[in-house]
């Protein structure tokens, strides 16, 4: 496993990290057995995938609890780069999620996450989403207090624009950005990645498999589209996009076979190879999936293969633009 350093804070992270939204076992991703989640964590650590990313809102605390119990049982806190988030809250018997980055709420949430994760500190603490009701400067000031007290080793934001990060950085150091990024969602290449390279901000890319769509399983393996919130009505699984996507993935699958990888492994390897990407956060529901994700980093993709993939993706973009015109 390749490790890459976040230069501003000195934390070295693997090129593949573990995202744990599915551990929440909620309506977003569907049911997940806690025992399977423990198996995924065990497999991840055995494969040197020691970056574990979670959030309070994943299962309304359940993902953090599962991870905290695993870490306590195996006494492995010193082996884990633990990342969690702040800024989203919920109410009992209310399906809605609310933004709240008021300093008081941030302090409450911080303590709740520490209890669930059974730790005194977080390696990476991230603002989950901006909150339109709270000035970014106030959020940054509270994050700076966590950082200066030694309660967190590094400061991160997720789903922020470059302008929002600029404002944040007037009040607090910023070490990590966590944006969505994958072959079908490459918007960050135009502004965010250049900004982060210029400022020395490490990038943790989430959703690299595009909710499983980029594995090809819904197109080639006759896997039924799950009835969860994220995928049951996903536009990339519906026409006219579905046909274009299937053709694109078919061409990419041929490249994957030449590289002796699965399609999913090729996607993860390509994502981790993009300039400015520090680590790729990918979910897993089983040991097998975790093992496949970790092995995606074996070997390298040649410049010629990278160029061929880029050409295929740009052709997809053109076809979808024609459909949308």
Per-residue pLDDT of the chain (325 residues; tens, 9 = 90+): 799 999 889 999 999 999 998 898 777 677 889 999 999 999 999 999 999 999 999 988 899 999 999 999 999 999 999 999 999 988 887 788 899 999 999 999 999 999 999 999 999 999 999 999 999 999 999 999 999 999 999 999 999 999 999 999 999 999 999 999 999 999 999 999 999 999 999 999 999 999 889 999 988 887 888 877 778 788 888 888 989 999 999 999 999 999 999 999 999 999 999 999 999 999 999 999 999 999 999 889 999 999 999 999 999 999 988 877 6
List CB contacts of 297: < 8 A, sequence separation 6 or more. 1, 2, 15, 16, 268, 269, 272
Whether residue 58 lies in the annotated active site: yes
d(CA 271, CA 243) in angstroms, rounded, equals 23
Contacts of 307 by beta carbon, 8 Å cutoff, 6+ apart: none
Q: What is the largest CA-CA distance in the chain?
A: 56
The residue behind tokens 């990419």 is: 252
Q: Please, are residues 282 and 275 in contact by the beta-carbon 8 Å criterion? A: no
Percent helix, strand and coil across the chain, each to the nearest 5: 45, 15, 35
Specify the residue for token string 């994760």. 117
Using CA atoms, how far residue 13 sits from 4, 194, 211, 226, 316, in Å, is 5, 20, 23, 32, 32
Q: DSSP letter for 21, please.
A: G
Among 59, 41, 55, 47, CA closest to 15: 47
Residue of 3, 58, 147, 160 marked active site: 58
């Amino acid at each position: 496993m390749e490790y890459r350093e976040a230069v501003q804070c000195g934390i070295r992270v693997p090129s593949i990290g573990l995202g744990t939204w599915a551990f929440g076992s909620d309506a977003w991703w569907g049911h997940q057995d806690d025992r399977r989640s423990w198996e995924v964590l065990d497999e991840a650590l055995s494969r040197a995938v020691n970056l574990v990313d979670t959030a309070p809102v994943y299962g309304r605390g359940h993902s953090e609890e599962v991870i905290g119990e695993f870490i306590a049982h195996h006494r492995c806190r010193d082996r884990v780069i633990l990342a969690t988030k702040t800024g989203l809250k919920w109410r009992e018997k209310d399906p809605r999620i609310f933004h709240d980055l008021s300093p008081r709420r941030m302090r409450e949430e911080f303590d709740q996450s520490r209890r669930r994760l059974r730790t005194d500190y977080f390696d990476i603490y991230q603002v989950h989403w901006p909150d339109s009701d709270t000035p970014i400067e106030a959020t940054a000031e509270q994050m700076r207090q966590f950082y200066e007290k030694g309660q967190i080793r590094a400061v991160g934001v997720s789903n922020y624009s470059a302008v929002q990060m600029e404002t944040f950085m007037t009040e607090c150091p910023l070490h990590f950005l966590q944006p969505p990024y994958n072959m079908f969602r490459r918007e960050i290449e135009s502004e965010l990645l250049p900004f982060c390279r210029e400022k020395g901000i490490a990038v943790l890319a989430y959703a690299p498999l595009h909710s499983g769509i980029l594995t090809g399983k819904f197109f080639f393996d006759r896997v039924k589209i799950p009835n969860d919130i994220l995928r049951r009505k996903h536009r990339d699984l519906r026409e006219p996009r579905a046909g274009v996507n299937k053709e694109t993935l078919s061409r990419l699958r041929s490249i994957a076979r030449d590289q002796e990888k699965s399609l999913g492994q090729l996607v993860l390897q390509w994502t981790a190879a993009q300039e400015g990407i520090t680590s790729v956060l990918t979910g897993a529901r089983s040991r097998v999936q975790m093992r496949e994700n970790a092995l995606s980093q074996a070997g390298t993709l040649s410049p010629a293969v990278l160029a061929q993939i880029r050409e295929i993706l740009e052709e997809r973009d053109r076809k979808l633009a024609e459909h949308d015109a």
